[in-house]
Amino acid sequence: MRQSRLAFFCFTLLFGLAPRTPAEEVSFAVASNFASTARELIDTYLDGNWRGGNKYHISPRSTAKLTTQIQQGAPFDVLLSADQFHVQTLIDEGLAVKDTSFTYALGILVLYSASEPDLIQGKDTLREGKFQKISLANPAFAPYGKAALEVMQKLKVEEKLRPKFVLGSNLLQAFSYIETGNAELGFVALAQVLDAPPGSYWVIPQDLYRPIRQDAVLLKRAEKNAEARRFLDFLRSPQAQAIIKKAGYRLEAP
Amino acid sequence: MESLDLASLWSPISLTLQLAVTTTLLLLVLSTPLAWWLARSPCRWKEAVAAVVALPLVLPPTVLGFYLLIALGPSGPGGWVASWFGGRTLAFSFPGLVIGSVLYSLPFVVQPIRNAFAAIGDGPFDAAATLGASPWDRFWTIAVPLARPGFLTGAVLGFAHTVGEFGVVLMIGGSIPGETRVLSVAIYEEVELMNWQNAHLLSAGLLVFSFLVILSMLWLQPRKETA
């Protein structure tokens, strides 16, 4: 009896001195268009909240692929999606924690040309269609591709332009087609263009496409991961929002 | 649940077969003189050439795809060729895919043919030369018939490898239906869409097809124990 009490005392002494939160790992599944911003956010978060031993990983991929991987049991704690649909799917399937989802950023769609500075003249560029190839992410599954298609439908140029479509399997690929000059222009995210060498771009008015809501959610596996929850709180802070805005996104009106 | 649209499933299959046939024929034409030179030349630098040919075995398709995207584009030779036809780039086109596939599958065709040529040895050629056969005659009446198993293996491998190609066509294709949306890209997109039914159907088809191709090659290959 006495011995066990002594053991308990030693145990308390030892672990009472250690940091109160044990080291936790947070593994982020991040939509590839947001990966570099996520990295910046995590760095900023750690500046103010460093707890020794905590580890952070970022896995950037298309939202659809991340969702499939999560459905197959991939060990992610937080999903920063490029849309709402996949987050909702995961919640419906019980793979994400219901009340933790929120819109962390609104994507801004731009029409961009890397090679021809005079090509982009607002709507007229699309109406006149004086180009051979226009690049966009595949509208069948990529959120920014869907938005691009909506813009063209709204401007009634979709049928005319469809033969000129080249589809990237994701936003990054659509961007690479423009960057290499294989497509004269295309629809990408403002966030990508801000990092790119100068070309010309047109920020597409929001009334031409439904807002691209990029949602974040805590995944089921991390339900008890306090560190992951703290990061999600940070993501809503003014400090984080300033970074997101600067990177080329809008914020949801409060 | 999405409906099963057979017509839309057939388009990538037929496109893939066209691509594989075109690529294989071109590969046989290109590989034969190259393999002959690699097998018979005394040149010291031929292994350097062989190494370049073998690069696609080692390089990730993304590297090849990335370079091709630049080479086929307006600032590369591909853009120059495309401009003859009023185009801007060879990417996103069937000819562009053929170029990519030829480069990507080249080692699979060159290697077996080279080995087959090398296995013939000098003997038969020396004998034929003594009998007055010209080099051209010797090539067609001795080298080609004796290297037939090498040609068969090369053709089957080149064909199968082109059918199974993914990374390169994804990067230079742009997923244009009937032009560059080949089978592997179609499967990838069905998975992205979570259309499991279509993905299963196409994947299982490809699996059976690949098995049959490999099996037929193993059957066709003459082997020591049966010879």
Banded model confidence at residue A18, pLDDT cuts 50, 70, 90: very low
Amino acid letter, A234: F
Q: How many CB atoms lie within 10 A of CB B6?
A: 8
- With CB atoms and an 8 Å threshold, state whether A182 touches B92: yes
Q: Report yes or no: A162 at the B interface, CB cutoff 8 Å.
A: no
Q: What is the mean pLDDT of residues A119-133?
A: 91
8 A C-beta contact, residue B115 and residue B176? no
- With CB atoms and an 8 Å threshold, state whether A182 touches B73: yes
Banded model confidence at residue B2, pLDDT cuts 50, 70, 90: very low
In degrees to the nearest 10, what's the CA dihedral of B75, B77, B80, B86? -90
- Give me the pLDDT at residue B227, please: 42
Per-residue pLDDT reduced to its tens digit, B144-161: 999 999 999 999 999 999
Q: Above 50 in pLDDT, residue A238?
A: yes
Banded model confidence at residue A199, pLDDT cuts 50, 70, 90: confident
Q: What is the mean pLDDT of residues A121-125?
A: 90
Closest Cβ–Cβ partner in B79, B176, B191 for A166: B176
- Give me the pLDDT at residue A25, please: 83
8 A C-beta contact, residue A188 and residue A112? yes
Higher-pLDDT residue of A8 and A208 is: A208
Banded model confidence at residue B226, pLDDT cuts 50, 70, 90: very low
Residues 6+ apart with CB under 8 A from A226: A21, A24
Q: From the DSSP assignment, how many helices (H) and strands (E) are in chain B?
A: 12, 0
H or E element at residue B20: helix B6-40
- Give me the pLDDT at residue B1, please: 39
- With CB atoms and an 8 Å threshold, state whether A132 touches B87: yes
H or E element at residue A111: strand A109-113
Per-residue pLDDT reduced to its tens digit, A164-185: 999 998 888 999 999 999 999 9
Q: Report yes or no: B170 at the A interface, CB cutoff 8 Å.
A: yes
Which residues of chain A from 141 to 160 reach within 8 Å of chain B, CB to CB? 141
Q: Above 70 in pLDDT, residue B92?
A: yes
How buried is residue A92: exposed, middle or buried, by Cβ count under 10 Å (0-12/13-18/19+)?
exposed
Phi then psi for residue B151, to 5 deg, are -65, -45
- Give me the pLDDT at residue A158, please: 94
- With CB atoms and an 8 Å threshold, state whether B174 touches A132: no
Per-residue pLDDT reduced to its tens digit, A27-84: 999 998 899 999 999 999 888 766 666 788 899 988 888 999 999 999 999 999 999 9
Q: Report yes or no: B95 at the A interface, CB cutoff 8 Å.
A: no
- Give me the pLDDT at residue A50, please: 62
- With CB atoms and an 8 Å threshold, state whether B174 touches A135: yes
Higher-pLDDT residue of A19 and B79 is: B79
- Give me the pLDDT at residue B222, please: 65
